[in-house]
Structure 1
Amino acid sequence: MTPGQTSLFEDSVKEEENSTDPNVSTEPAVEEYVVRRRKKKRGGRQANLDALPQVDKVYELKGKKRFCDACGEELKIIGKHLAHRKIKCKPMEFYCENFYVQVVKSERSKCYFWAASSAKEFNQHNIAYFFYAASRGDEVIPRIIGPDYRGCLMCDGHSAYQQERLPNGTLEACLIHIARKFKEIVKIGKGAKILQHSKAAEAATKLGEIFHTEHDLSYTTREEKAAKRRLRLKPLLDEFYRFIGEIKHPIGKLRVAINYALNQKERVYQIFEHGELPLDNNHDEQLIRPTTIGRKNYLFAKTEAGAEANATWYTFIQTAKLNQLKVREYLEHLLSSFTWTESPVWEAYLPWDPEIQRKFGTQ
């Protein structure tokens, strides 16, 4: 055996010596493994379906579904929409069946409710009326109250309210709408002294004095109310228009507010001739509030016939409320009283009828 070499016997003896050494650990080595879960790829099901032979099945519109509920014209087919997909099996082969439904185009995508109501004072009956129309144009106004209407109409500055459409009527402007434009300017600068003491804030304050003075008036007839308005309110309104007329070179929202007030001036001054006119149309806006809240829940009417039905029922319900009726009991009475075989006496079912008031009144 040459120097520097060891025998197999010496190697085995050294291994045994090492195995009995108390400083040497005899525990087996533990290997650590990191398990990474793979994220499931999106679109796998779609890819599997696309890989199969395709069979398209189109459900066609038939019968009444091919015609518009409102005008009766045949609808135009503009395409098809994939409704769902289903895997089916035939001998030795799978295939994917695609289910489509035809998509039709409606001529009217946005329509409107119009609302009108009797004034709170000096009226014969308390009435709320809702009208469905596909437009916000001035042609709708005569359809609601008639082209020969000779009374007064409180309205905002919407361009549809044209004197030409109601040549015999009197249009009056809402002071709240005028004041709101000045208040919005002050609201923008809430906390900023420069806006709280601005021309807009002063204009809003002057209009507020008119409302406070109106609240303190006492009268018994419309003529007496108009006379007291001329005595106490007219100087305040004159001062408001003098003030905004002297503002030099207004810009931005202030200019918009001033121009709006000046454009409505002639209509605003009608309150001094017609005592039955209110200063604002808040009464009517409160009546339409349920429609604006409700549409957030049901979003829209499916058909024009459904929108017309909504307007009819809003008219019944809001008019019943104005006449202090128990709405649910009153509507149940109406629905149970009418049949196709009888001609009802309509006047006996009106909300202000004495018998209706006796049965369903809340007071």
Structure 2
Amino acid sequence: MIQLSDEQLNNLGKEALVVIVSSLQDQLLALQSQLDHANAQLSDNNRQIELLTEQIRIMNQRFFGRRSEASVSEINGQLSLFDSFNEAEYLKQDSLKEPEITEVIIPSYHRKKTVGKRESDLSGLPARIIEHTLSDEELAARFPDGYKELPEEIYKRLHIIPETFIVDEHHVHVYASRNNDGTILKAPRPKDLFRNSIATPALVASIINGKYTNALPLERQSKTFKTNGIQLSSNTMANWVIKSTDVYLSLIYDRLHEMIYDSKVIHADESPVKVMQIDHAKIKNGKKTYMWVYRNRPLRGTHPIVLFDWQPSRHSEHPREFLKTFSGTVITDGYQVYHKLAKERRDLKVAGCWVHARRPFAEFIKSVGQDTARGSIAQEAYRMITEIMHIDNTFDDLSVTDRKKQRQLVLLEKVDAYFAWAKQKYSQVTHNSTIGKALAYSINQEEYLRVFLSDGNVPMDNNYTEQAIRPFTIGRKNFVLIESSNGAKASAILYSLVETAKANMINTFEYFNLLLTEIPQHMDDKDLRFLDDLLPWSPKVQKECPSKYKKS
């Protein structure tokens, strides 16, 4: 561009000046446009950085932070990652006392110890008497004039005899007539669990209990047996587990499946699990499949039932088949498959989970810290939802009719206020942010989150299934994947029986031992009514399989 001197500019005519000024304006507009574009690009980059930083904070909280939402108010006092691996060093050793033989009590909950607590905890266990005496010579030396014995001083200690194995050697007596008329009679004997197998109900029950109650993989159990001189391969144990499940334990599972339909409310959830072999085809690194779980809500006249259902996918046909004759309400975490089923059937209703609606706000608060989150949208949402849930908890002891009435009188207005507030705030935040997605979840699930207001039987959360599926996720971490689809189906049945037994407060090992002892004796029966006496809440099972576990 040519630069003109002051004299040349003074000599220019009006038209020339207009052309020059117009050209300068065009250049300024172009520069301004470039600057605006650069600022917009910079703003987008900053927004992307904020979103990525936010996601990293959330992921760090999920992987390394405390899981319970109850600790949101104590986020600044949580253990660091290093401390979580060194809890023994983190705690003050001089403040610890040797634990009593009692249940663990949460440190923040102070309760006066019950008189005779140790006696109660140890009652019912087999005991051996160990005498501590002085010899006659010692007593004569200390009491030359004779002695008398006072009441004994008695104290108790808990002893364990690990993995005790006993060989059951069956001697079947055979009888014949003295006159040798050919009559031979054998004494009756119980039917074997498996033909020509050393397996006994107690042994298989112990293996099942080890894996499905205590999350001990079969390979680890095999090594433990080997240290005791017992050679049991993991393949042999797997075959026993799968066969006993298919032939015997599946009968109880099917009976429970029929009975869960008697409930008016069922909780549902699903969790992924990898399976190495499906339909005899091996899959490298395993195929992602799903373990679905269903749990009834025990109301008057019903008992707790937990059922797992392994399926190769997450498609809608699986819950459709499982719930085909169920009529009532299914409580879920918002998965669209259940909403699809509800639209297909008039007798099926879906209710949402308020804990799932609150969880992303809690995770955000934990990730940024309590001080930083103070006054934020996340904190306000968390406060509003928590208040609604807390008030609803106070209605637990009411009848179904009264609970519905109180929800309408007290909570309806607060629920309306929350959704109105959520929709207003959603228009003010970035929709792709954590808070934007959390608000969108509540808004999209509004129809299902409101269901509890019109039905006193329906709770506000889906915690029942999350509690039931947790033991499976712990076991999944230990065995990483399941070897075959047959093993996956057996695992579904066994986890069902374990969790149902625990929900009905019975000993899982004793229950499996009873089932594997009784069911084989009835395999020739045409009538399966004998199963009713083997359900976890039956008087027979409650008497023979008592649990020492006590709910605090």
Q: Is the TM-score greater than 0.5?
A: yes
Q: Could you say which residue in structure 2 is the equivalent of 1:158?
A: 335
Q: Could you say which residue in structure 1 is the equivalent of 2:228?
A: none
SS at match of 1:223: helix
Q: Could you say which residue in structure 2 is the equivalent of 1:143?
A: 321
Question: Out of 364, 378, 402, which is 1:224 matched to?
Answer: 402
Question: Out of 443, 447, 457, which is 1:262 matched to?
Answer: 443
Q: How big is the shift at 1:114?
A: 0.3
Q: Could you say which residue in structure 2 is the equivalent of 1:359?
A: 544
- Residues 223/358 of structure 1: CA separation in 2 closer, same or farther (3 Å cut): same
Q: How big is the shift at 1:105?
A: 4.6
Q: Which amino acid aligns with 2:443?
A: L
Stretches of structure 2 that go unaligned for 5 or more consecutive residues are 1-275
Q: How big is the shift at 1:191?
A: 5.0
- Equivalent residue runs for 1:246-285 within 5 Å: 246-247=424-425, 248-251=427-430, 252-285=433-466
- Residues 192/123 of structure 1: CA separation in 2 closer, same or farther (3 Å cut): farther
Q: Which amino acid aligns with 1:150?
A: S
Flag the structure with higher helix content.
2
Q: How big is the shift at 1:178?
A: 0.2
Structure 1: how far apart are the matches of 2:491 and 2:316?
Answer: 22
- Residues 190/70 of structure 1: CA separation in 2 closer, same or farther (3 Å cut): closer
Flag the structure with higher strand content.
1
Q: Could you say which residue in structure 2 is the equivalent of 1:174?
A: 353
Q: Could you say which residue in structure 1 is the equivalent of 2:472?
A: 291
- Residues 263/123 of structure 1: CA separation in 2 closer, same or farther (3 Å cut): farther
Aligned residues: 264
Q: Could you say which residue in structure 2 is the equivalent of 1:244?
A: 422
Contact 2:279–2:485 (CA under 8 A) maintained in structure 1: no
Structure 2: how far apart are the matches of 1:218 and 1:70?
Answer: 45
Structure 1: how far apart are the matches of 2:384 and 2:308?
Answer: 34
- Residues 307/175 of structure 1: CA separation in 2 closer, same or farther (3 Å cut): same
Contact 2:286–2:481 (CA under 8 A) maintained in structure 1: no
Q: Could you say which residue in structure 1 is the equivalent of 2:37?
A: none
Q: Which amino acid aligns with 1:230?
A: Q
Q: How big is the shift at 1:280?
A: 0.5
Contact 2:308–2:495 (CA under 8 A) maintained in structure 1: yes
Q: How big is the shift at 1:108?
A: 7.2
Contact 1:149–1:166 (CA under 8 A) maintained in structure 2: no
Spell out, residue by residue over 1:275-303, the C-alpha distance to the aligned partner (whole angstroms, 9 max, x if none).
11111011210111111011111111111
SS at match of 1:233: helix
Q: Which amino acid aligns with 2:505?
A: Q
Contact 2:308–2:493 (CA under 8 A) maintained in structure 1: yes
- Equivalent residue runs for 1:60-75 within 5 Å: 71=279
Spell out, residue by residue over 1:89-148, the C-alpha distance to the aligned partner (whole angstroms, 9 max, x if none).
xxxxxxxxxxxxxxx5579711110001011545612100000001112121112221x4
Structure 2: how far apart are the matches of 1:298 and 1:224?
Answer: 47
Q: Could you say which residue in structure 2 is the equivalent of 1:15?
A: none
1:124 aligns to 2:309 (yes or no):
no
Contact 1:120–1:283 (CA under 8 A) maintained in structure 2: no
Contact 1:139–1:165 (CA under 8 A) maintained in structure 2: no
Q: Which amino acid aligns with 2:326?
A: Y
1:190 aligns to 2:369 (yes or no):
yes
Q: Which amino acid aligns with 2:303?
A: H
Once structures 1 and 2 are overlaid, which stretch shifts more, 120-129 or 300-309? 120-129
Decide which structure has the larger Cα Rg and report it: 1
Spell out, residue by residue over 1:220-243, the C-alpha distance to the aligned partner (whole angstroms, 9 max, x if none).
421221111111222221121121
Question: Normalised by the size of structure 1, how large is the TM-score?
Answer: 0.68
Question: Out of 289, 311, 322, which is 1:133 matched to?
Answer: 311
Structure 1: how far apart are the matches of 2:531 and 2:355?
Answer: 37
Higher relative contact order (CA 8 A, sep 6+): 2
Q: How big is the shift at 1:362?
A: 3.5
Q: How big is the shift at 1:159?
A: 2.2
Q: Could you say which residue in structure 2 is the equivalent of 1:199?
A: 377
Question: Out of 234, 244, 247, which is 2:412 matched to?
Answer: 234
Q: What RMSD in Å do the two structures reach over aligned CA positions?
A: 2.3
1:341 aligns to 2:524 (yes or no):
yes
Spell out, residue by residue over 1:152-196, the C-alpha distance to the aligned partner (whole angstroms, 9 max, x if none).
100011122222354421100000000012222222211553x32
1:329 aligns to 2:513 (yes or no):
no
Contact 1:173–1:280 (CA under 8 A) maintained in structure 2: yes
SS at match of 1:126: coil
Structure 2: how far apart are the matches of 1:122 and 1:175?
Answer: 25
